[in-house]
Chains A and B, each alone.
Chain A
Amino acid sequence: MEQSNNYKTIMRIVGAVVFVLLFLIVYSKIYNVFRYKDTHGDYLSMPVILKDLPKDSLDVAFVGSSHTVCGVLPAVIWEETGISSMNVGISGMDKSTCIATLNELFKYQSPQVVLVDLYNVTFDEHAVEGNVVRAMFAYEPFESKGLPVLDKDRMRLIDDEIRINGDSDRYELSDADDYYLEWPIVHSRYQELKANDFRENPRYEYWLGEEPVMRTSLISPPELYSIPPEAYILSDENKEYIDEVIRIVESNGSQVVFTIIPYPDYSDKDFIQFMSADSYIRGMGYNIINGLFLQPDIGYSYDTDFFNGDHLNYWGAKKVSGYLANYLMMFYELEDHRDDPKYMRWEKNWEYMHQMDQKWDLQNDENGAFGTVIRSSLGSNLCTIIKVTGDLSPEGSSSAIAYAFGISEADLAKGGAWIIDSGEKVARYLPGKEEEIEYEVNKNLSVKICDSKDDKTDIYFNLDRRNMINSDDESGLEIFVYDEVLDEMIYNGVIK
């Protein structure tokens, strides 16, 4: 009887343990779906990459706000020097977030140089609610190692953010618990879940924290303030902040360089804080790259290199990043990793930038569609699908394009469709004579070509199960260009 009771007790304990484990497994799965995955928009979170990088693989880290996020391209630094760098930026990064970010950075990486942007010396409070939330949720609530103890750096960050925003209705002090645990806030995300909540954004494979913007706005040059140097008085908060940054970086065996990523829309008050910080930092013997005064050296233009008054665009970022690459080469002995397979992510990141350039060129080619098709046939990581509907004039531009792909006049007269992957013809469909063909371009895109009911040719695209793109029935040469790296259809048009 006693033995039977003991057995019952053991089974109950085992059952309770299994239930708790089951609960934790389900919870962790659900948490991964619901958690914020975003420090930049589009389901990309910088801290996730910090943890994903091979341990101690980072040579240089750029820490800062959206000025850094938009203004520094690790791919350019990689291309020019082979130095592994990362854009450790969060939009609206205030001083507290910067301190938390540095602490987080050194948990996973040991960069030799850390470049910290000083935009946050121009403000003490937060202007944008979304930025605060992003900052608070950038880091996971629990320490990743060992028992689930609340991460103290994160808790300090939340305390700071709530203190700073104490007057706001949105951030009540009583909400601190909810922010510590994160779940009480993110659970209501069931209303906004998207595909990337269930699977990782493909950009994670090569992303390094940058957010290039390929858009240009005509910006007025900044006002030249004539403020006497005696007016440069750095606030106590900023002094403490700069001292703390230096302390954290140096105590982790790294060297700190301060930056001011250029932007034209700063006020006189901002200017005073920048200049005060500049002289304070130089006074202590530390380096600062003050982009506000480096226009001739960097070569950025207010006409072409900004997408708004606060941020560099892609081309401006390329120039600033090129300048930073030279600076790093000149002052630091950093290794060139370009042939090291451990640094594949940087290679892929560069490739992504290359594809971005290619896409821009394709979509903005001066020679119009003809140039587009020729380029796409030669371009790397591009898949082109062309379809002939009706009779094409042998002398017309559409026929010329077809010939450029190696399609003979006789074949052209028969009509149908062709698939050209990375410059190579991989499939051809002849209407009325062949069974339908299916071609898997990659895991995200499949193409199906078949006859339509009225004996024309139909092309169906299943792009990552997101949508079906059907071809037109318009007479002429229809062209689709898909970029395998960017995972998007970058061109679709009919040429008569």
Chain B
Amino acid sequence: MSFNSLQFLIFFPIVALIFYILPKKVRYIWLLVASYYFYMCWNVAYAGLIAISTVVTFGSGLLLEKFNEDTGKKKLVVAGSFTINLGILFFFKYLDFFFENINSLLGIMKVRPINNGLDLLLPVGISFYTFQALSYTMDVYRGEVKAMKNPFKYALFVSFFPQLVAGPIERSKNLLTQIETLPERKSWNYERVLSGIYQMAFGMFMKMVIADRVAIFVDGVYSRLHYAGTFETVFAALGFSLQIYCDFAGYSAIAIGAARILGFDLMENFNTPYFAGSIGEFWRRWHISLSTWFKDYLYIPLGGNRKGKLRKYINLIIVFLVSGLWHGASWTFVIWGGIHGLLQVIEDVILPRLNALYEKFGINTKTESFKLFRMIKTGILVTLAWVFFKADSLSQAIKFLTRMFTKWNPWVIFDGTFFKYGINQIEFRILIIGVVILLLADLIRYFKKEDIGVFIGRQNFLFRWIVLLTLIFMCIVFGKYGADFDSAEFIYFKF
């Protein structure tokens, strides 16, 4: 069940309504049932994988508490929990990739390839809930949270449907605490619910009006690379930057809004990432729940920046290579991660020198124009890196980049060629209107430091109604859905 489906539009109000009707003590049971139903709408059998992950990490939590004094045993338990969870993840997500590479090597050695005989369907959101469950094991191991005693509450933590399939990847300190305190908390908060609705509406708008619309153009260019020149590829690259942001941040907004309606605060996942002045800052604003997960559970355990510059750079590269692999079982993702790691290392190395140069030449780095320059520079680097993320293969990515720089054709902007990639002039106009609305929302987020749901919720009722009706009708009229449109799954579902 996708967030932008009719089923979800029926499912969610029913879940919310019953949630508030039920006595507080049993609400978590209802949410657990709803969450498993939500997941089973994709694949009934794969709900078993969530259950396994839940049982393993729940059991490991209890054992970790039991072996409180015995570090050796605790490490063994953590290792066991990680092995089982990452084993499942590897089996379903990386086994094919693994055999593909083994077979490539065997091919070089002229040895017959291995047929693994499996044609596995990737369980939706497996990377997300696996990481969320593992964070619990680590938090209990570190003594940052106590082991949960109620298995159903813990099961809800792993499977909470708003963020189950594409995050934000929650921490036990945040979500588990909220689940535990559910019976004691205030039942209904009108302002919160409204703010959640605005947040969801804006997420839907980002996904249905912008992401799915620009996706048609982007896919059109990628599938006709033999035909496209500099201008189409540049716009397609920029388009993908827009698409993936609206797709993923849109999903997160819906998840955060839905959870807010149910009385839960999920962690922030996006904070105007394209306003970042450096790659490092970009990662503090983009997919925050994943970046902080890697920081807390991989970068710091590797030594972080405590063991010298070289080790810091190696750690950064490792973290980003793993992050790339987390996104997908393909070398394109690994390269994408590697590029981001490398860019951060380069930034770290040259930034002090650059700052010295700026000072020497009297360039004021505090001006708005300089900030804008840095944002544009970061945006260009991020956009170029996305080419690897989007491409189906390395050769496609290289071909795309080559086209970007070698086939100069500015006339396509004027001669109608642009409209031969799947979206016509009307669609482009709608897209531009959508982007303007998005920019306004991001500016509000950037300067007011509050999400769009909270901001709208603070306004007077007339403004709120106009904004909400506009968003809803933009979605239901200009949103991409229906039989004529094969609605793209949210991009991050496959990770």
Contacts and interface: CB of A to CB of B under 8 A. Distances in A.
A binds B: yes
A396 B204 CA distance: 73
B307 to A, nearest CB: 55
Contact of B476 (A178, A179, A185, A187): A187
Contacts of B111: none
Interface stretch (A19-27, A111-119, A207-215, A236-244): A19-27
Nearest to B479: A187
Nearest to A184: B482
B473 interface: yes
Contact of A177 (B6, B478, B479, B485): B6
A34 B473 CA distance: 13
A15 interface: yes
Interface of A is mostly: helix
14 contacts: A15-B461, A22-B465, A23-B472, A27-B476, A30-B473, A34-B477, A184-B6, A184-B482, A185-B482, A187-B476, A187-B479, A188-B484, A188-B485, A191-B426
B482 A187 contact: yes
Nearest to A181: B6
A190 interface: yes
Contacts of B479: 187
B426 A190 contact: yes
Contacts of A183: 476
Contact of B482 (A19, A26, A27, A188): A188
A178 B5 CA distance: 11
A178 B6 CA distance: 9
A172 B190 CA distance: 41
Interface of A: 12, 15, 19, 22-23, 26-27, 30, 34, 172, 175, 177-179, 181, 183-185, 187-188, 190-191
B293 interface: no
B481 interface: yes
A177 B481 CA distance: 12
Given A12-B190, A23-B472, A191-B426, A30 B482 contact: no
Contacts of A22: 465, 469
B483 A19 contact: no
A362 B481 CA distance: 50
B465 A19 contact: yes
B424 interface: yes
Nearest to A170: B483
B424 A191 contact: yes
Contacts of A190: 426, 477-478
Interface in B420-473: 424, 426-427, 461, 465, 468-469, 472-473
Contacts of B427: 191
Contacts of B485: 188
A493 B481 CA distance: 50
Contacts of A184: 6, 481-483
Contacts of B484: 185, 188
A157 B476 CA distance: 25
Contacts of B6: 177, 181, 184
A173 to B, nearest CB: 11
Contacts of B469: 22-23, 26
A30 B261 CA distance: 28
A191 B485 CA distance: 14
A240 to B, nearest CB: 29
Most buried by A among B190, B461, B472, B477: B477
B485 to A, nearest CB: 7
Nearest to A189: B477
